[in-house]
Amino acid sequence: MKKFSAAIALLLLALPVEAQVSGRVYPERCDDLSWENELVAFRVYGPETQRRGERSYGYDLFLKYPDKGPVLERLYGEQCSAANWSVVDSLRKIDARLAKDFENSFTYHIDHGLGMDCYAVGSTLGCGVAALRVDGAICYPWCYETVDIKENGPDRFEAALTFAPVKIGDDEVIEKRTISLEKGSRLNHCEVCFEGLTEPRELVVGFPMRGTPQEYADVAKGIIAITDPTQGADNGTIFLGVDVSNKCTGTVIADNHFLLTLQINPGETLVYDWGFAWDRTDISDFRDWVEYLCNRAGAQD
């Protein structure tokens, strides 16, 4: 009996386990780089989005339930299904309402039990992108140019992104980011450098302000947080936050963004964590989210 039980245990260990932390580039959706763990999911827009001229600068996020396992392949699979969109096109010739009803049955902009994409990014910093700021104007980064996935599960995802050269004053600057997400964390770890800077510059990191958000800031700890109302009816509230390791100089509201400010010197790297929680999971109010950020920062001191 013991030998039989041991054999069953070895067999179970040999079975493939679905990775909780994973990601990939989705060429079927404009080269999105999307990744997730068991709690949260994210994406950053790619070169095809930029070629189309769509001004999507910031990090996007997908809301998800912690007990549903990986969701991105299923969400993208339905959203990017050529068969689904062929039906939509056919129905539009008959009745626009029928076409919309069918689209609503599969789109990832509606929660069908796995989660959804209902956070608006557009021409903003989204869920915590860092950007240089010159003469009070945010120098919004566009989509990544190249990406190299360094680690892809089962417990950690890491990707290195390079952006196209941009003019910052007299400097031609190339931004490079390394983003990693660990199992069990709601925050990505991010390291950002700006190759080509020849003088100190102001750097900001934060979020767009929508509605009448709740805000929190602790400049000494390098933490800011904000609420976002989501898109669509009855989709709950998103709590956004960043935790910056570099010494911060203050906060500012600029271009309808709530921002932490700091100075970045030539050759220096910005190190920070960014992420979110959804009030339909275990962090159900803003105070709990701020406590999560502060406790996590304290544990890393």
What are 62-92's pLDDT values in tens digits?
999 999 999 999 999 999 999 999 999 999 9
Mean pLDDT estimate for the chain: 93
CA 236 remoteness from chain centre: 18
Region 266-277: mean pLDDT is 98
What Å distances lie between residue 162 and 139, 151, 166, 193, 270, CA to CA?
Answer: 16, 17, 12, 10, 15
Phi, psi values for residue 27, rounded to 5°: -60, -25
pLDDT value for 17 = 55
**Cα angle, residue 110 at apex, residues 291 and 224 outer, rounded to 5°:** 25
Region 259-268: mean pLDDT is 97
Confidence of residue 9 (pLDDT cuts 50, 70, 90): very low
Which two structure tokens, joined as six digits, stand for 199? 């003088």
- State yes or no: pLDDT of 265 exceeds 60: yes
pLDDT value for 232 = 80
User: 244 near 272, Cβ under 8 Å?
Assistant: yes
Instruction: Provide the percentage of residues in the chain whose pLDDT is more than 70.
Output: 93
User: 74 near 114, Cβ under 8 Å?
Assistant: yes
Over residues 205-250, the pLDDT tens digits come to: 999 999 999 999 999 999 999 999 998 878 999 999 999 999 999 9
Q: Which residue, among 256, 276, 261, 259, has the nearest Cα to 211 in the 3D structure?
A: 256
Confidence of residue 3 (pLDDT cuts 50, 70, 90): low
User: 221 near 294, Cβ under 8 Å?
Assistant: yes
117 CB-contact burial (10 Å; exposed 0-12 / middle 13-18 / buried 19+): buried
SS3 of 96, please? Answer: helix
Rounded to whole angstroms, how far apart are CA atoms 168 and 171? 5
Confidence of residue 297 (pLDDT cuts 50, 70, 90): confident
Region 103-115: mean pLDDT is 95
Give the number of other CB atoms < 10 A from CB of residue 109: 14
Least confident of 9-23, 103-117, 118-132: 9-23
SS3 of 223, please? Answer: strand
Least confident of 14-18, 45-49, 198-202, 250-254: 14-18
pLDDT value for 219 = 97
pLDDT value for 6 = 47
Region 97-109: mean pLDDT is 96
